[in-house]
Amino acid sequence: MDLLHNTLVSAAMNSSTLSPQPVQQRSRKVYMETFGCQMNQADSDIALARLAEAGYHEVSSGDEADLIIYNTCSVRDGAEGKIRGRLGAIKQRKSSDPNLRIAVMGCMAQRAKEELLKTYPQVDLVVGTDQFVHIPELLERLPEEGRLVATNFGDFENSGNWSTRRSDGVNAWIPVMRGCNYNCTYCIVPTTRGREKSRPPHLIEQEAREAVAAGHAQVTLLGQTVDAYGKTLGDGSNLATLLRRLHAIEDLKRIRFVTSHPKDITDELLDTMAELPKVAKHLHVPAQCGSNRILRLMGRRYTREGYLDFVRRARERMPDVELLTDIIVGFPRESDADFQETRTLMQEVGFAGAYVFMYSPRPGTGANNLADDVPLEVKKARCNDILGLQLAHQEAWYRTLHGREYEVLVEGLSKNNDQRIQGRSIGNLNILVDRFTADGRDLLQQRGQLLRVRIRDNTNLALYADPVQAHG
């Protein structure tokens, strides 16, 4: 196995100087199913671009495919459960069609490694979060070498720009860093994605320029702790300098970034966000919980007071900044009093949105040594409580926005109604507008452009608005 690992490390380091080899002559069909976060989706897009270079074309159902790839997530046991289900369901087909290849990539592959081959004889290839770019070459080796595991961490960030498959949406996702140097005690991500590594800014700018030239009006910079961008580069780059660099790209209309850690939000970053008009006034900065006792057990490296100070610093500079949080309920030892502190934090801050998760013990993490002692029913009740609180807040807040005007970046048709278009404010408000104007214009033609609108109505998930006539 070591030999395999070494080969792959050197392949990764040299890959920018190698031109892609046409690995397959005849066309083959690949079906990819992606679980988890946007980083996984971005990885799937790169893997699919590499497979296309090798002669594979993508199909939309596993039944037609001769290669099935599951790009997996490990963040909670439920995420892995879905993948175990998929692998169980495909077993039958694999035994009747031995030419079918099954690959598992992503975070669960990185975490479970050889164990996946042992448990699932139907799996041919296990490929980790830094090695997935080599999928075509690994597939080539299967007939001779048998089933393979490739999960070492390589030098992915400096290996030049990999081509990627972009959707035709308004937004282009651009990973700017990978991995995470924190060790929140509940979290598997540092295990599955390794140490933090930032990509050099010139490669990011090049990728952003290509995305804009291909018609994307917005880029979203991705990282597990994106506000720590640049620390590993040692050239003075940080997220603020990166935003400034990308802001200069003509025809780029909006820049977003996710996800931030409260500890890394500097005043320089907040000042830069406030100054640059294309940068979304939106911060996804998970608080996780409101109790100092639990924050310490979580290893989050800030206190409730520290979090509230970040909120104050952000709002001082950007009064309308929209703050999005993740909340974990039912962390070990979370008492009713601790939970109440999460509720009061939510009330004090007034988040624009919240993702709420029930704590799920992960193998090998620090918190796994603590008993998972909050009963499931209590976790569920706390989860629903926070969700209810958040929706009530959104409803009340949205009502105060009636009559306000926003610049909306038009994304396309509303998902549920083709008579409406959907777009986002410079924060992250989901705004719907009637598709056809009174004078017969089709606003779908504004896709990828900014449209001035005035809010007239709302639900707790969306705002309804009318276009405002440009004047002057």
Phi/psi at 406 (nearest 5 deg)?
A: -135, 150
Given candidates 40, 220, 237, 238, which one binds ligand F3S under the rule CB under 6 A?
40
Residue 190 within binding range of ligand SF4, rule CB under 6 A: yes
The reply to whether omega before 259 is within 30° of 0 (cis) is: yes
In whole angstroms, the minimum distance from the beta carbon of 189 to ligand F3S comes to 5
Residue 357, contacted partner among ligand F3S, ligand SF4, ligand SAH, none, CB below 5-8 A by kind: ligand SAH
Question: In angstroms, rounded to a whole number, what is the distance separating the alpha carbons of residues 327 and 353?
Answer: 11
According to the binding rule CB under 6 A, does residue 187 interact with ligand SF4? yes
Shorter beta-carbon distance to ligand SAH: residue 368 or 460? 368
Scanning 300-375, the segments in alpha helix (DSSP H) are 304-317, 336-349
Which of ligand F3S, ligand SAH, ligand SF4, none sits in contact with 156, Cβ below 5 to 8 A by type? none
Q: How many whole angstroms separate alpha carbon 150 and alpha carbon 132?
A: 8
Question: Which of the residues 45 through 84 are near ligand SAH (CB under 6 A)?
Answer: 75-76
The residue among 258 and 433 lying less far from ligand SAH, judged by its C-beta, is 258
The partner in contact with residue 74, picked from ligand SAH, ligand SF4, ligand F3S, none with C-beta cut-offs of 5 to 8 angstroms by kind, is ligand F3S
Q: Which of 36, 128, 136, 330 touches ligand F3S (CB under 6 A)? A: 36
**Does residue 187 interact with ligand SAH by CB under 6 A?**
yes
463 φ/ψ angles, rounded to the nearest 5 degrees: -115, 145
Helices (H), 54-103: 77-96
Query: What is the β-pairing status of strands 171-175 and 148-150?
Result: unpaired
**Segment near ligand F3S (CB under 6 A), from 33-41, 211-219, 247-255, 369-377?**
33-41
The least CB distance from residue 384 to ligand F3S, in Å, is 22
Q: Which is nearer to ligand SAH, 201 or 223 (CB)?
A: 223
Q: Find, among 127, 129, 107, 133, the residue nearest to 50 by Cα.
A: 133
Task: Locate the DSSP E strands across 282-384.
Answer: 282-284, 322-329, 353-358
31: tokens are 């079906």
**Which amino acid does the sequence have at 86?**
R
Binding window for ligand SF4 (CB under 6 A); candidates: 19-27, 121-129, 178-186, 391-399 = 178-186
Secondary structure (DSSP) of 245-268: HHHT-TT--EEEEE---GGG--HH
Q: One symbol per residue from 295 to 334: x for binding ligand SAH (CB under 6 A), - otherwise; what is it? A: -------------------------------x-x------
378-389 residues labelled b (16+ CB within 10 A) or e (exposed): bbeebbebbeeb
Tokens representing 418 are 């083709």
- 206-225 residues in contact with ligand SF4 (CB under 6 A) are 224-225
Q: Min. distance of Cβ 460 from ligand F3S in angstroms? A: 26
- Residue 99 burial by Cβ neighbours in a 10 Å radius (0-12, 13-18, 19+): exposed
Asked if 462 contacts 432 with a C-beta cutoff of 8 angstroms, the reply is yes
Site string for ligand SF4, 256-285 (x = CB under 6 A): -----x------------------------
Q: Does residue 42 interact with ligand F3S by CB under 6 A?
A: no
Residues 111 to 170 in contact with ligand F3S, rule: CB under 6 A: none
Among 30, 37, 318, 352, binds ligand F3S (CB under 6 A): 37
Whether the Cβ atoms of residue 392 and residue 367 lie closer than 8 Å to each other: no
Q: Tokens standing for 436?
A: 């056809």
In the shown chain, the binding pattern of residues 360 to 389 toward ligand SAH, with x for contact by CB under 6 A and - for none, equals: x-x---------------------------
The kind and range of the H/E element at 70 are strand 67-72
Which span (80-88, 180-188, 209-217, 266-274) binds ligand SF4, by CB under 6 A? 180-188
Among 104, 189, 217, 323, binds ligand SAH (CB under 6 A): 189
190 touches which of ligand SAH, ligand F3S, ligand SF4, none (CB within 5 to 8 A by kind)? ligand SF4
Query: Which span sits near ligand F3S by CB under 6 A: 19-27, 35-43, 225-233, 276-284?
Result: 35-43
Residue 432 in tokens: 């719907």
CB atoms within 10 A of CB 65: 20
Q: How many CB atoms lie within 10 A of CB 173?
A: 22
| Single-letter code of the amino acid located at 391 | L
In the list ligand F3S, ligand SF4, ligand SAH, none, the entry touching 76 (Cβ below 5 to 8 angstroms by class) is: ligand SAH
Which residues of this protein are in contact with ligand SF4, per CB under 6 A? Answer: 180, 182-184, 187, 189-190, 224-225, 261
